[in-house]
Structure 1
Amino acid sequence: METEHIYSVNELIRLREKAQRAIKIQSSELEIDGWSKSDYDIKALLDVFKPLRAREGIIFKSYLYRSGLNGNGIIRAVQASENDQASDLFLGNDLFSPPNPKGSFENLMDGIQGDGSPWSYMCASLFLREALAFGEMWHGISWGHFHIYVPNIEGEESVIPEYWDLDWRRVPPDFTPQVTVTEEAVVVKFYTFCGVGASGVFEHIDTYKKRLLCI
C-alpha cells in the first residue's frame, strides 16, 4: 500500500531559515587557515528538526576549513567508545583530506535516528543538506545557493526573479514537497531554485529504506 504525505512550501522555508540560523559558527573560528577543530555543537541543528535525535553511543565532531575568505567544513558522527582526542591535534591543510577521526562513520546519518513518521524523513533530507553545508563561505558555498522553490501560484511569490527566463526540460505537474511511503521504502521529493552556476529549478529525490530512521 502506498501513501502520500503533502507539506507546504512555506513550512519547509521556515524550517530551513531556522536551520541556517542554528548552523552559524562563531566569528572567532574564522581566523585559522587549514583545518581546525570547531566548538560547534550539532545539537543546535538537531533541535530545529524535532523528529530527529542522535543515536545512543554517538558523539559528533565538527571541523572547519579556511583559506583566506573561502571556507568549508565537515561534521563527523563518531562512536563514543572510540573517541580519540589526540587525533584532533594534527589536522592538516588539504581541503580534500578532511579530518576523519577513529570510529567515525562515512555517512553522518548513521549517527541520527528519527521517530519513523513521514515528516521525519523530510526532516532528515533537509537536516543532512544543512549539516553538509556547515562552514561554507564564499567560493566554498554550494547548498547555500539553493532556495526552496515557490512557483507562481495564488498567494505565493516565486523565488525566481522576473528577469529569469527558464528553458524548462520538463515541468512537473506539482511542486509540492511530499513524502511517499511504500511497503519497502520512503521517498522524499522537493524542489529548489539555484541562480548560480548551472542555474535552474532542481528536483531532489531521496529514497530511504523503510524504518531506517525509526527509534
Structure 2
Amino acid sequence: MPVQKIPLEALQKIRQQIKNALELPDSENHPRSWSSLDEVDELPEPGSLSDLGDLFSFGGVPEEETHVPNTSGKWFISTTNPGSVLTKLPGLKLKANVRLVGYLHRTAEEGVGVLWAVPEDLSTTAQLEKALATSGDRAHPPQPEGSFADVMEAIQGDRSPASWIVASMLRREFREFGALGKSCNWLHHRLIDAVPPQAKWQWRVANPPKDLAPKVVIYPDNKVAIEFFTCRVTAPVAIFQHIDQYPPSQYQAASVDRAIAIPQRS
C-alpha cells in the first residue's frame, strides 16, 4: 500500500485557515458585563440601528433571564457561522440542507463551546433557543432538536488523500471551538515532522518512530489511516502521535491521541 506524505508546511497552512474561519468576535470571547460600567455613567444614545446592536454585546441584562453573550456561566448561541470554513478547504464540503451551529459558555476566566450539525429547517433561532432552556453548567451544553450525534456526519468529500488529513485537522479544531483559558488543549499542540531538538526526549514506546512526516494510507478496501505528530509546548510538554482511522465512505474517524515522549529530567 502506498504511503502518501503531506508536506508539513501545507498542513500548517490548512490548520491556520481553519482557525481563522472559526475565530469568534471579541464580544463573544470576552463579553462585557453590565456591572463593569460605572454606576454613574449612562449608556450612549444609539445614533443608528447598527449602534443599537452594540448595546446587546454586554454580558447580560440586570434582573432578566437572558442568553445574550455573558460571563455568568449561561450558555448562549454564537453568531459565528462555522460552516463557512468548508467553503475554502480542499476536498471537503458541508452536506446539502445542513447547518453548523455553535453554543458558547463563558466565565470571567475561561470558556468552552460546542458545535452541532442540524438540518436547516431546525436551525432557526427559535429552534436553537429551545435547547438553551434545557442546558445546564459547562458540562451540560444545549443540544438542539435533530442534531447529529457527531458533527463530522455533516461533512462529505472527494476521498482524495488531502481530504482525509484535512478532516483530521477540522475535527480537532471543531472539538476546541470556543475554548478559552484552561479549557484549551489542541491550541497548545504544534505540528511537527521531526523530533524537536530543544530537549532530550524520554520515549514511552518500545519502537520510537523514525519518520514523523504526516501520512495518509488508503487501503485496498478503501479504509483510510492518517498519522501525524505534534509537540505540546506547554506543561505537560510531550510529543504526541495522532492516528485516525476512517471507514470507506465517511469522514468520522476512530482516533488515538497519545503522548509517546516526554522531556528527560535534568
Q: Does TM, normalized by the shorter one, top 0.5? A: yes
State the shift of 1:128 in Å.
0.6
Distance 1:89 1:73 in 2: 13
The aligned residue for residue 176 of structure 1 is 213
Structure 2's unaligned 5+ residue stretches are 32-69, 252-266
- Indicate which of 192, 201, 212 corresponds to 2:230: 192
8 Å CA contact retained: 2:132, 2:142: no
2:145 equivalent to 1:110: no
- Indicate which of 137, 150, 153 corresponds to 2:180: 137
Give the alignment's Cα RMSD to 1 decimal.
1.8
2:20 equivalent to 1:21: yes
TM-score w.r.t. structure 2 length?
0.71
2:106 equivalent to 1:66: yes
2:6 equivalent to 1:7: yes
The aligned residue for residue 97 of structure 1 is 140
Distance 1:44 1:85 in 2: 19
8 Å CA contact retained: 2:80, 2:102: yes
Task: Describe the shift of the 1:147–1:48 C-alpha distance in structure 2 as closer, same or farther (beyond 3 A).
Answer: farther
8 Å CA contact retained: 1:59, 1:80: yes
Distance 1:200 1:90 in 2: 40
Distance 1:97 1:89 in 2: 10
Structure 1's unaligned 5+ residue stretches are 153-157
Identity of matched residues, %: 27
Higher-Rg member (1/2): 2
8 Å CA contact retained: 2:190, 2:233: no
The aligned residue for residue 240 of structure 2 is 202
State the shift of 1:98 in Å.
0.9
The aligned residue for residue 148 of structure 1 is 191
2:82 equivalent to 1:42: yes
The aligned residue for residue 155 of structure 1 is none
Which whole-Å deviations, capped at 9, do the CAs of 1:132-187 have from their partners, x for residues lacking one? 111111111111111101426xxxxx4x6x2x332123420210101100023100
Distance 2:142 2:129 in 1: 12
State the shift of 1:86 in Å.
4.1
Task: Describe the shift of the 1:207–1:141 C-alpha distance in structure 2 as closer, same or farther (beyond 3 A).
Answer: same
Distance 1:137 1:206 in 2: 25
State the shift of 1:81 in Å.
3.7
Task: Describe the shift of the 1:6–1:187 C-alpha distance in structure 2 as closer, same or farther (beyond 3 A).
Answer: same
